[in-house]
Amino acid sequence: MPSPARADDDRPWCLALAGPTAAGKTAAALALARDLPLEIVSVDSALVYRGMDIGTAKPSAHERALVPHHLIDIVDPAQSYSAARFAQDADTLVRAINGRGRMALLAGGTMLYFKALIDGLHDMPPADAGVRAELEQAARARGWPALHAELARVDPVTAARLAPNDSQRIQRALEVYRLTGRALSSLHGDGGAPAAASRFAGMPMVSLEPRHRAWLHARIEQRFDAMLAHGLLDEVRALRDRGDLHADLPAMRCVGYRQAWETLEHGGSLEQLRERGIAATRQLAKRQLTWLRSMPARHVVACDDDDALEQVLRLGRQLAGAGP
């Protein structure tokens, strides 16, 4: 199947597959890969980390052998990986995939990564040690929920997408506001977008979203229970025992890992870990759905429909240019 992109406009041949956690994106991506000549580019801020397999629901070795996967296991948990770097890496990969005569399927649930690729990210101010120290001191005195409330007053859009204890992102959003006088949300996609971002404007997106929230909540519970059964706590214990990781690293703040780290650090039962992990995953799914609703051009498939995979395949064929 030839790429519908023309050489003279530099448009990429790609399709986005988005959705909240536990919506069935992996199964849908593999179904599309059986039907279309594609390679998968992961759009997931947790899958980039090596040694974090169970708690990220990373595609298995068998699944990854069925179709090429990219942007998985590319950085150590001690390192950071940004939305800006994702946009650069994804653009490079899509060019290479298209050069092989194949379509790129950008699949995942990290909505900021999608936004960085499609809309671009304004140049952000570098970290300021003084401002960060002030915010950390305020957090110790008042708690991160109080700083989250402060963020809600100056940047309600960003605050709505963050949990009250998401210290890393609350700190960065307040830091940006104090340094620039502008809300972080106003800087996303505001002029000066990288050239690569314009190539992906209008990228077709299939979004898996539940009709009934209870269906997604049940899936989240089942998946977290499976993670615990497969050794999530042991996986986090091994990471903690390395000695070079700490709880404030982006990798260790991923949902599931944060709660398991806190259990190992402060104690608590497996049932308490389960309750906190499921609650945090539900909050993540809620934030992901909020992001998705801000993307009006997406093609929504109800992931709790019995024929959801068939709907995804039909849309995939149409949006890839393969016909109905």
Q: Which among 262, 275, 116 has a CA at the least distance from the CA of 197? A: 116
pLDDT at 80: 85
Residue pair 267/101 in contact by the 8 Å Cβ criterion: no
In this structure, the dihedral spanned by the alpha carbons of residues 272, 278, 284 and 289, taken in order and rounded to 10 degrees, is: -150
**Tens digits of pLDDT across the chain (324 residues):** 545 544 446 889 999 999 999 999 999 999 999 999 999 999 999 999 999 999 999 999 999 999 999 999 999 999 988 888 999 999 999 999 999 999 999 999 999 899 889 887 766 777 788 888 889 889 999 999 999 999 999 899 889 888 898 888 899 999 888 887 888 877 764 444 444 446 898 899 999 999 999 999 999 999 999 999 999 999 999 999 999 999 888 899 999 999 999 999 999 999 999 999 999 999 999 999 999 998 878 999 999 999 999 999 999 999 987 433
What pairing do the DSSP bridges indicate for beta strands 103-108 and 38-43?
parallel
Q: pLDDT at position 323, please?
A: 39
Query: In whole angstroms, what separates CA 182 from the centre of its chain?
Result: 24
Residue 4 pLDDT = 52
Q: How far is CA 103 from CA 5, 29, 94, 287, 323, in A?
A: 10, 12, 8, 29, 15
Beta-carbon count within 10 A of 247 CB = 14
Q: Do 31 and 309 meet the contact criterion of CB atoms below 8 Å apart?
A: yes
Q: What 3-state DSSP class applies to 17?
A: strand
Residue 198 pLDDT: 60
Strand runs labelled E in 243-310:
299-302
Specify burial of residue 251 (Cβ count, 10 A radius: 0-12, 13-18, 19+).
buried
- State residue 161's pLDDT score: 84
DSSP one-letter code for 211: S
pLDDT at position 190 is 45
User: What burial class does residue 101 get, using C-beta atoms within 10 Å of its C-beta: 0-12 exposed, 13-18 middle, 19+ buried?
Assistant: exposed
pLDDT for position 123: 66
